[in-house]
Amino acid sequence: MIDASGAAAAPALLIQGVSHRFGRIEALCDVSFTVGRGAFCALLGVNGAGKTTLFSLITRLYDSTSGTIAVAGFDARRQPSQALARLGVVFQSRALDSDLTLQQNLAYHAALHGIGGKAARARIAEVLALVDLSDKAGVKAATLSGGQQRRAEIARALLHRPQLLLLDEATAGLDLRARHEVSALVRRLIAEEGVSTLWATHIFEEIEPSDHVVVLHKGAVLADGQAAALAGDGPLAKAFLTLTGAAA
């Protein structure tokens, strides 16, 4: 168990020696990396690399039996309530109730976190302002654009003031403008709110040279470092293809 002083000094996310199998299929093999406090980390990999499996282990949708996963210093297996309370999650699949207004969607989620009444209304107003959707509170989720829905899901993930945001292919299905808006929003939240972020993607254009990048391929970490250093003198896409080609 980790005490308060240990948690305060711990990284936002620690993944150490994590492996996972589905029967005979090895989905993750000895995965290790960290996400620092107030940092942006891109988990880069093609479909089937193991990104969603790792997210499912972090969020306890699957039970991890090998290695250590800790959120803000709290072990996800031994201290699941403390670990999950510090997580905000946006999965690839849409998760808003299309028949409810944005306000109603957020109020329902706030209640799941034990936030109700005036406190919920105040916090909902805060997160809608953060994602520039204050004017959409009373409209049904079904009427929001794809980019607005993603921003709404980020607002929902922020309701309980998490220390770490997990975003699994958050821009999937969005046009170029909406992708840029969502990416810019997350980076602004890091700068202004100090929220750490693990951003799973297969889109190289979403990664900036100064970003921390973890390359995941066929369940294994092939590279872990700054994007510019991994790319060298060429584009990151070329370095990625070289890494994954050698591992194919």
What CATH number does residue 206 fall under? Answer: 3.40.50.300
Whether residue 142 lies inside any domain: the answer is no
The span from the CA of 34 to the CA of 18, in Å, is: 12
Whether residue 237 lies inside any domain: the answer is yes
- Which amino acid belongs to residue 183? S
Whether residue 133 lies inside any domain: the answer is no
Is the distance from CB of 132 to CB of 98 less than 8 angstroms?
A: no
Mean pLDDT of the chain: 92
pLDDT at 162 over 80: yes
Whether residue 112 lies inside any domain: the answer is no
Domain coverage including residue 24: 4-96+162-247
Whether residue 122 lies inside any domain: the answer is no
Please report which confidence band the pLDDT of residue 81 belongs to, taking 50, 70 and 90 as the band edges.
Answer: very high
CA dihedral (117, 118, 121, 126) positive or negative: negative
The pLDDT value recorded for residue 208 is 94
Whether residue 64 lies inside any domain: the answer is yes
Question: For the chain, how are helix, strand and coil distributed in percent, rounded to 5?
Answer: 40, 25, 35
Q: State pTM to two decimals.
A: 0.92
Structural domains counted in the chain: 1
**Closest by CA position to 155, among listed 115, 192, 182:** 182
pLDDT at 247 over 70: no
Residue 96 to residues 42, 121, 159, 184, Cα–Cα distance (Å): 25, 18, 14, 21
Query: What's the rounded mean pLDDT across residues 68-89?
Result: 96
The pLDDT value recorded for residue 225 is 97
The pLDDT value recorded for residue 8 is 66
Query: What's the rounded mean pLDDT across residues 214-243?
Result: 94
Whether residue 106 lies inside any domain: the answer is no
Please report which confidence band the pLDDT of residue 94 belongs to, taking 50, 70 and 90 as the band edges.
Answer: confident
Residue in the structure block whose two tokens are 């107003």:
125
Percent of the chain residues past pLDDT 70, beyond the cut? 96
pLDDT tens by residue, 192-214: 889 999 999 999 999 999 999 99
The span from the CA of 226 to the CA of 235, in Å, is: 13
Q: How many CB atoms lie within 10 A of CB 59?
A: 19
Please report which confidence band the pLDDT of residue 65 belongs to, taking 50, 70 and 90 as the band edges.
Answer: confident
Please report which confidence band the pLDDT of residue 56 belongs to, taking 50, 70 and 90 as the band edges.
Answer: very high
pLDDT tens by residue, 121-144: 999 999 999 999 999 999 999 999
Whether residue 118 lies inside any domain: the answer is no
Long-range contacts of 170-174 (CB under 8 A, 24+ apart): 170/90, 170/92, 170/199, 170/201, 171/201, 171/203, 171/206, 172/92, 173/146, 174/146, 174/147, 174/150
